[in-house]
Structure 1
Amino acid sequence: MKTLSNSPDPSAPHTVRELRDGLAGRQYSAVELVEHYLREIDATTDTVRAFVEVFRSDALRQAAASDERRRAGRLLSPIDGIPFAVKDIIGIRGQRMSAGSRAVDIVSASDAQIISQLRAAGGIILGTTRMHELAFGASGLNDFDGGARNPHFPGIIPGGSSSGSAAAVAAGLSPIAFGSDTGGSVRTPASLCGVVGFKPSYGLLPTGGVHPTAPTLDHLGFLATSVEDLRIVMNVVAGTPLEQDGRAGRRLALFYDPDLTVDPAIATALGVTLDALSDRGWHVESVTAPIGFDVMDVSTTILFYEAYRVNRERLETAPELLGTDVRERLERGAHITRERYEQALGEVERASKEMSALAEPFDALVNATIPILGPTVEDGARPEVTSMLMRNTRLQNLIGAPAISLPGAQGDPTPWGIQLFSIRGRDAALLACAATVTADLAA
């Protein structure tokens, strides 16, 4: 059996494609692959703390069934036998869901739609991952269960709310992980943990059976080590293969928001990155955010209004079970009027049209995933820090647009991420653009 490890040796398999090729070449079985990841998870229980529950026996049974299908020549899909981690907000039949909160204790009677699609494709579920409580926070810190740790950058918050999913991928505990993203909850932890995070267009991945945060803004997404892995998985679980619209103009636009202050070190790093892409044949220009549209105000109105209504009973009957930060946000949501909420929805409709026109000529718009340096655990809970963590990632949820965070070049600052986003429905084109950007920066 080929050695599986977290070694920097490039021959050590760790991407979905490499693992898939290893399975196809009989270098190891799906059972051996799952056993490897279970050992890695066990070894990091007290350090990375990525998982809430590990489905050891179920994962091994799923792997044995995949091996049997392979022997019989009846594989279900290109990801048959590939292990996945699942954020503890997604329903899994017969398993307990806490959504990172003492106020939630649900045993799912059935699989969420996305889990049914994963099972139909032969994907293997390793277990559930830690998260910010109720997926209602950007730091990933969780006082109730201790939260996940950032495996690449000790002392820096893992980011939220999909903290455990990002940590699992970053630490080599799973090749890919499900996350959810209501205002940046896939892309923020991807940036802070140094992995790739993708939020597709609104509705492309079904949210049935997923514990809601704010239904108008809720998306599912993935965290992985490569863009190629995201393309492989999305083409399987999106229901139908993503169609490429033929766009390959190597045109990027730096998305400039005059109301946002970006840390000088990040601004410099992003500028160096865009200069490098220009040297490799990309046309890069700047565009300005729609005037008169306050992203944070509008998104906070919609997010807090809906989150309060989702969790109203918990807040009113057992507020002591909620963390202080989440309880305070829900209480703010209780004071938002229906009139202001509907006004915010109208503002989104206008901004969506303007953003579509703005993005139309380009392969992608680009900015820093997070405009500040990675906060320490001590600073991560401060409200002003939490607000800045989400400043660049909320717009894409408002307009339902696909967005991806790529790891920035290592060095100073560390960590940081590059966000690419496009027009709703251009998921395949955005992933193709991200793959080309990654390849050009690595050249």
Structure 2
Amino acid sequence: METLKNALGQPTPNTLCDLRDGLVQGRYSAVELLEHYLREIDATVDSIRAFVVVFADDARRQAQESDERRRAGRLLSEIDGIPFAVKDIIGIRGQKMRAGSGAVDIVPTSDAPVITQLRAAGGIIIGTTRMHELAYGPSGLNDFDGGAYNPRHPGIIPGGSSSGSAAAVAGGLSPIAFGSDTGGSIRAPAALCGIVGFKPSYGLLSTEGVHPTAPTLDHVGFLAVSVADTRIAMRVFGHVPIEVGPGEGRRLALFDDPDLAVDPAIAAALQGALDSLADRGWRIDSVTSPIGFDVMDVSSTIMAYEAYRVNRERLETIPERLGADVRERLQDGSRITSEQYENALREVDRVRTEVAALAERYDALVNATIPITGPTREEAVLENVRRMLMRNTRLQNLLGGPAISLPGAGDGPAPWSIQLFSVRGRDAELLATAAAVSDDVTG
């Protein structure tokens, strides 16, 4: 087989597109491709710590079956033989699920539907990835197992909660990974690790068999090297045709929140990217967030109320098995009343209509994925830093629309990212727009 470049230290790990083409052209087999990734994982057990468990033997069996199908001309999909990493919150039949916590010990008796779909497409499950405990935190730090490390920016956190999935992709340990996103848990780690993170519309990928955090906000999505890889994954899962192109108008709107302070370096980098797009013919407008709507207050109310009820028994019977930060947040949730929760849901209904009216005029709304520079592990425990990490990614979960984070380019701080989002159901259009933006600015 051809020598696959060790992606550590390289600006771009191997893309799913490139690996798919390599399999088609016979430059290597699925078994050889898998062995490459197993070696990379083994070499980074201490330095990246992306994986909880690696299913080496079972993955080898899957790879052998893929090669047999290829020889027989019976491939299941274009990702047949491609390794996938899976966040340790998504049920895999017969494999222990810990959800990053000492208080969870579940062995699913069946696969989550997204895993069933992955198997049916011939994707190879290479292992489960580390995460912020119970998917309930933005840093990726974990009192239970220490968490993963950021492979591209070692001085800062990997972000959470899908920290291990982001680290696996950014470190060249898997070309693509499943994550979950309740308030930015795919997009924030993607931004901090310098890769692409996509949260589809609510319910587009099933959350059945996924350990819940806050069920009305939970989404399943992908972390990948490129937008093209994300579009392939969504196409394989039966949702987004790759042929869809961006709107002829090429219209974007900067989504501005006057109450939110943005780090000057981030603001300058974002403006530079928008100026570059304008030079290439994009129309760039500015819109203001709905008046009187506190995204963090509303989302925190809903999230905390639901997360407490999901984990109430654990909090009451085995609190010592929960990390301090998660235990504190669950306790906060116990104090939220049903009236406060219902009021928050009504506020979401009001704002959903307002934002939909804004978004329908544009190919996407735009802001910085994270409005601050990447924090260190010491900084990330501070409450104000934790809030800022998710400040720009909470709204999209409340509204249920698709959102994607693209790594920024140019002279901005490292890392910084652009977030594009739209209304529920416009996933194909958003991904096409993201591909065009990536080509014009971030590529």
Q: TM-score, normalised by structure 1?
A: 0.97
C-alpha deviations, 1:341-400, integer Å up to 9, x for none?
011111101100000001111000000000111001111111111011000000000000
- Equivalent residue pairs, number: 443
Map 1:392-403 to 2 at 5 A: 392-403=392-403
Partner of 1:158: 158
In the alignment, the residues of structure 1 paired with residue 251 and residue 208 of structure 2 have an alpha-carbon distance, to the nearest angstrom, of 36
Query: Contact 2:257–2:288 (CA<8 Å) still a contact in 1?
Result: yes
Deviation larger for 433-442 or 175-184: 433-442
Partner of 1:209: 209
For 1:413, give the aligned amino acid: P
Structure 2: stretches of 5+ with no match in the other structure = none
In the alignment, the residues of structure 2 paired with residue 319 and residue 418 of structure 1 have an alpha-carbon distance, to the nearest angstrom, of 38
In the alignment, the residues of structure 2 paired with residue 267 and residue 64 of structure 1 have an alpha-carbon distance, to the nearest angstrom, of 49
Map 1:354-393 to 2 at 5 A: 354-393=354-393
Residue 412 of structure 1: CA displacement? 3.6
Query: Contact 1:205–1:238 (CA<8 Å) still a contact in 2?
Result: no
Partner of 1:425: 425
In the alignment, the residues of structure 2 paired with residue 384 and residue 358 of structure 1 have an alpha-carbon distance, to the nearest angstrom, of 29
Partner of 1:56: 56
* Structure 2 SS opposite 1:380: helix
In the alignment, the residues of structure 1 paired with residue 278 and residue 192 of structure 2 have an alpha-carbon distance, to the nearest angstrom, of 26
- Report the identity percentage: 72
For 1:47, give the aligned amino acid: S
In the alignment, the residues of structure 2 paired with residue 292 and residue 242 of structure 1 have an alpha-carbon distance, to the nearest angstrom, of 39
C-alpha deviations, 1:73-96, integer Å up to 9, x for none?
111111111100000000001101
Gap change, CA 1:425 and 1:175, over 3 Å in 2: same
Residue 263 of structure 1: CA displacement? 0.5
Query: Contact 1:3–1:12 (CA<8 Å) still a contact in 2?
Result: no
Map 1:1-40 to 2 at 5 A: 1-6=1-6, 14-40=14-40
Deviation larger for 246-255 or 88-97: 246-255
**RMSD (Å), alpha carbons:** 1.7
In the alignment, the residues of structure 1 paired with residue 265 and residue 381 of structure 2 have an alpha-carbon distance, to the nearest angstrom, of 22
In the alignment, the residues of structure 2 paired with residue 11 and residue 367 of structure 1 have an alpha-carbon distance, to the nearest angstrom, of 24
In the alignment, the residues of structure 1 paired with residue 111 and residue 415 of structure 2 have an alpha-carbon distance, to the nearest angstrom, of 35
For 1:49, give the aligned amino acid: R
In the alignment, the residues of structure 1 paired with residue 17 and residue 307 of structure 2 have an alpha-carbon distance, to the nearest angstrom, of 38
In the alignment, the residues of structure 1 paired with residue 177 and residue 282 of structure 2 have an alpha-carbon distance, to the nearest angstrom, of 31
Partner of 1:141: 141
Residue 238 of structure 1: CA displacement? 3.9
Query: Contact 1:99–1:131 (CA<8 Å) still a contact in 2?
Result: yes
Query: Contact 1:4–1:13 (CA<8 Å) still a contact in 2?
Result: no
Query: Contact 2:7–2:14 (CA<8 Å) still a contact in 1?
Result: no
* Structure 1 SS opposite 2:381: coil
Query: Contact 2:13–2:171 (CA<8 Å) still a contact in 1?
Result: no
Residue 3 of structure 1: CA displacement? 1.3
1:127 and 2:127 matched: yes
In the alignment, the residues of structure 2 paired with residue 9 and residue 22 of structure 1 have an alpha-carbon distance, to the nearest angstrom, of 22
Residue 246 of structure 1: CA displacement? 6.5
* Structure 2 SS opposite 1:96: coil
Query: Contact 1:235–1:241 (CA<8 Å) still a contact in 2?
Result: yes
Gap change, CA 1:383 and 1:13, over 3 Å in 2: closer
1:85 and 2:85 matched: yes
Residue 244 of structure 1: CA displacement? 3.9
C-alpha deviations, 1:155-199, integer Å up to 9, x for none?
200000000000000000000000000000000000000000000
Residue 242 of structure 1: CA displacement? 7.3
Residue 247 of structure 1: CA displacement? 2.7
Partner of 1:293: 293
Residue 144 of structure 1: CA displacement? 1.4
Structure 1: stretches of 5+ with no match in the other structure = none
Gap change, CA 1:383 and 1:9, over 3 Å in 2: closer
Query: Contact 2:37–2:173 (CA<8 Å) still a contact in 1?
Result: yes
Query: Contact 2:176–2:225 (CA<8 Å) still a contact in 1?
Result: yes
Residue 248 of structure 1: CA displacement? 3.3
Query: Contact 1:13–1:19 (CA<8 Å) still a contact in 2?
Result: no
Residue 2 of structure 1: CA displacement? 1.5
